[in-house]
Structure 1
């Protein structure tokens, strides 16, 4: 349990606080180019999204890449996922859903693509959680992990105005070199481990923040967007995400 920065109760309350979860997933969804390239380059047929409820990336891969997709998470509320599938023109059984504790589940199936987006940073032992991902990867398959970069300006903003949410994240794991080393030590070939995106800024439940914080966020967001439009580069200081892609031999 010392490995967990969150628990089931946290995620139940987190998702219950959200509205309008049944959105239409666009073709240009975040990381769409990276995922499309992995699918086409590696002839991917099967994929599993770990910790991905309500299943946005599972839906994206089913809807646009026509993969056989599984969603695995510790907390799944079926009506939300079913509504999401319906909003995207998919049947209720379009994706397989496994509600289980990743730390107790022993998979009997491996996949061409194993991905998680915003999962590993909620655990203290980064090597352990990544190796649990690797267990799902077929020989020759691909591991794709994304996480926020709270060592950037966005992290300062989170720490300053939503400390409770900030403390639910393992800041030390937000290091591309560390993530690459963990994969290399596990015998994988690292394709890329880098900062991703020019600039972004967000707060969970922004509408619950004071007007002053909301205005500050908007002004910083606009300034950052204008700056990175002129100076378009990805960096530790500005990029909002980190991506890791590795191949299993």
Structure 2
């Protein structure tokens, strides 16, 4: 079975459908606490974001944590990334960009921090894609992976109202125990592998959806937010994300 659930044209179409990509990345960007703790406690100096175009996390790491950052993706439209850098008062030279197929790229450099946010779930072979991340990690370095949790209510919403997008995701990999086991078998120390976030749902290109779907989404979002404000906890049923943090042995 083909390992890829998407191809380059899918991502070209995906990003070309987006507007307002050049945003100011805030200091409290999603996963900011986790990333800041890793950088400060592990004395991180270099980082690479895999599959991260247009580079929101690369920008966050450069802007707020002052790292030497590289962005690798097999679709990088440099003018978009440059506009993003400009919106965050950064120079074009502040982030190194590599446009390449991760499966054909032979990287000789390794990094203190290797991260991807919303990448591994687009591949059928989870062990293989995680190992490709690990190959970039320096001895003693940190692997940080996040992905959506489509086994939660958000997944039901995606499956019901955006089946085409849902089918581009490997649902079976959305399992913290599975991800931890893969890393342990690869010789890494697992720091955490868990469901993350109290509640959220979303739709791609929401503005193009019918009024009924948008109203349903808003109603579910509000109900979920109220419920998890009263009872805030991470769970498979409600949490919108999964995070994995692991460390390579020195």
Common fold: TM-score over 0.5: yes
Equivalence for 1:101: 101
- Look up the match of 1:203: 203
User: How far 1:133 moved relative to its partner?
Assistant: 0.1
Counterpart CA distance in 2 for 1:208 and 1:184 is 43
Task: Give ranges in structure 2 of 5+ residues lacking alignment.
Answer: none
> Which residue is equivalent to 1:125?
125
Q: Hey, what does 2:58 align to over in structure 1?
A: 58
Do structure 1's residue 191 and structure 2's residue 191 form an aligned pair?
yes
Q: Distance in 2 between matches of 1:206 and 1:94?
A: 32
Residue 208 of structure 1 and its aligned partner are, at CA, apart by 1.1
Q: Which residue in 2 is equivalent to 1:137?
A: 137
Question: In structure 1, how many angstroms separate the alpha carbons of the residues matched to 2:161 and 2:122?
Answer: 19
CA–CA distance in structure 1, aligned partners of residues 108 and 175 of structure 2: 31
SS at match of 2:94: coil
Deviation per CA, 1:135-188, whole angstroms, max 9, x where unpaired? Answer: 000000000000000000000000000000000000000000000000000000
TM-score w.r.t. structure 1 length?
1.00
List structure 1 runs of 4+ shifted beyond 3 angstroms. none
Q: 1:18 maps to which residue? A: 18
1:6 — aligned with what? 6
Does residue 234 in structure 1 map to residue 234 in structure 2? yes
Gaps of 5+ in 1: none
Q: 3-state DSSP class of the match of 1:38?
A: helix
Distance in structure 2 (CA, Å) of the matches to 1:23 and 1:12: 19
Partner of 2:165: 165
Q: CA deviation at 1:87?
A: 0.3
CA RMSD of aligned residues (A): 0.5
**SS where residue 113 of structure 2 aligns?**
strand
Equivalent residue number for residue 77 of structure 1: 77
